[in-house]
Amino acid sequence: MTRMQQGATAVASLIVGMLTISACSSLTEPYNDAPIDHKVDSPAIVYSGPDGFANFMEKCDEFGNLVITTRTEGGEAAAVVPNEEGCAKFDKGAEAWKKAK
**Over residues 29-57, mean pLDDT:** 79
Q: What is the pLDDT of residues 14-34, one digit of tens each?
A: 888 777 776 665 555 556 667
What's the pTM?
A: 0.52
Q: How far is CA 83 from CA 13, 44, 64, in A?
A: 57, 17, 5
- Burial (Cβ within 10 Å: 0-12, 13-18, ≥19) of residue 60: buried
Say if residue 65's pLDDT is above 80: yes
Which residue from 91, 95, 46, 42 is spatially nearest to 65, judged by alpha carbons?
Answer: 91
